[in-house]
Amino acid sequence: MDIRTLLSSHVTDKELKSILEDMHSFDIVSMFDTLEAHEIERIKNILSTEQFADVLSYLEPEDAAIMLQTQSLEEQVLVVQNLEPDDAADIINEYGRNEKNELINELDKAEPVVQLMDYKAETAGSYMNNDILMVDCAMDFKSTTKAIIKSADDLKSVKTVFVVDSLGKYLGQINLKALIRAKAPRIALDILESEPILNVYDDVDTIVKHIKHYGAYDIGVVDDNQKLLGAITTDDLLDIYRDEAVEDIEKLSFLPDTDIKTGFIKGAFKRLPWLLILMIISIPLALITSNYEEILASVVILALFQPLLLDSGGNVASQTLAVTLVGLTYKEGVTFKDGLKETLSGVISGFVMSAMAFIAAYILSDMLLVDSPLLVAIVVSLSLWLTVIISPIIGFIIPMVLAKLKFDPATAAGPFITTIIDILCLVIYFGLATFLLGGQVHV
């Protein structure tokens, strides 16, 4: 029997609570989409504070904030104290300013979540969990094991023990397997391994590159003096990687967000400003075309090949953009040598495409009894070749320059680069047509 059926039956709160206690919090959250508001409210009121906190951790922060704010201020404090500090910080940051300050004022200043609230969004400090197991380097393995056992219920992760010196500076970390295999009289300093760590102010791009290059489970986070402040744990790493991938997709598509659950009216108004920007950027295309009305009127067949050229240039630029963005995630990044390879690839691809376009343009021009089918074919094929050569250059240079300037290269959105390529393509196409054909060719 599913929960929806149970809720519609005469099951008591005590019986329902017993069932919910045996369920994983993620499964409870998964049911919410199928339940009515009053049914969710009943479940929320039945759950213990600990389980309710766990349920909130599986919701999107904005949804969790809305649900948590239905509780009294005293209940909110209890729930926050049962949340992982990083999860609690994410949820509280979704509060309005007044509500946020009110809740923080009720929390003990020593609460880990309060300390995390000071870090800028999308930095290592905002993602880290400061509720981790730290041991002094002089502790023996037995004492370290006892510390894990004692703290296991309160820690988010016990896979990694972080080792510090007497001043709290990071020295290394011990994984659980190494600790189990250790023998007396070895101390923490003897069995630790020094792993790459993050600075508390490192941005999300640095974190993603760290994940890619080192594949760490729990990453230590330190301040400028190498003092260990916390760690980013495995589940947070997965969330960061997913969120960054989604954000890049949004930027590449000029989308403000990709939440499939957003209502159609809200979604339309979120996308409208970006669509208007793209429309305004596209105005030069119309202006360029209007400047070549005479050649278009004389050689109408040129209009037939215009979409072919525009699509080809945009496709090549988008492919190069994708390759460049992937290359920028590598530790070594990308160089002008990589850009040269993309350009040479465009030269080869463009030559093959232009040869095929030459044949198609010549045959079609001849069929339509154009006066100079050979010149038309040359204009189409040469324009296509030049466009396909220029496109990878644009698709490479723009994201690389943005990366050098410390901007997110994904902001070189596909539609933006495609519009630039379209403008250059039309200038090349109509410029060549005017130079080679002038007004001499008539249908």
The percentage of residues in the chain with a pLDDT greater than 90, rounded to a whole number, is: 21
Q: DSSP assignment of 3-54, as one string? A: HHHHHHTT--HHHHHHHHHTS-HHHHHHHGGGS-HHHHHHHHHHS-HHHHHH
- Does 239 lie in the same domain as 152? yes
Same domain, 32 and 138: no
For residue 115, pLDDT beyond 80: no
What are the counts of helices (DSSP H) followed by strands (DSSP E) for the chain? 23, 6
Are 306 and 215 in the same domain? Answer: no
With a cut of 80, say whether residue 330 has pLDDT above it: no
Are 123 and 200 in contact by the 8 Å Cβ rule? The answer is yes
The rounded percent of the chain whose pLDDT value lies above 70 is: 81
Q: Is 31 exposed, middle or buried (0-12, 13-18, 19+ CB in 10 A)?
A: middle
- Contact between 103 and 145 under an 8 Å Cβ cutoff? The reply is no
Split into its structural domains, the chain has a count of 3
Q: What is the CA radius of gyration of the chain?
A: 30
Q: What is the CATH number of the domain that holds 420?
A: 1.10.357.20
pLDDT bracket for residue 211 (50, 70, 90): confident
Question: Has residue 87 got a pLDDT over 90?
Answer: no
Q: Regarding predicted confidence, which is higher, 39 or 265?
A: 39
Query: Mean pLDDT throughout 121-131?
Result: 83
Q: What is the CATH number of the domain that holds 20?
A: 1.25.60.10
Are 110 and 142 contained in the same domain? no
Query: What pLDDT sits at residue 441?
Result: 42
| Whether residue 394 sits in one domain with residue 371 | yes
Mean pLDDT is highest, among 39-48, 106-115, 142-151, 255-264, for 39-48
Higher pLDDT, 259 or 386: 386
Q: Which domain holds residue 380?
A: 264-436
Same domain, 219 and 271: no
* Position with higher pLDDT, 331 vs 147: 147
Decide if 314 is inside a domain: yes
Residue 129 maps to a domain? no
Window from 20-29, 72-81, 145-154, 419-428 with minimum mean pLDDT: 145-154
Amino acid at site 332: E
Residue 443, pLDDT > 50, answer no
Residue 159, pLDDT > 80, answer no
Residue 44 in this model has a pLDDT that exceeds 80: yes
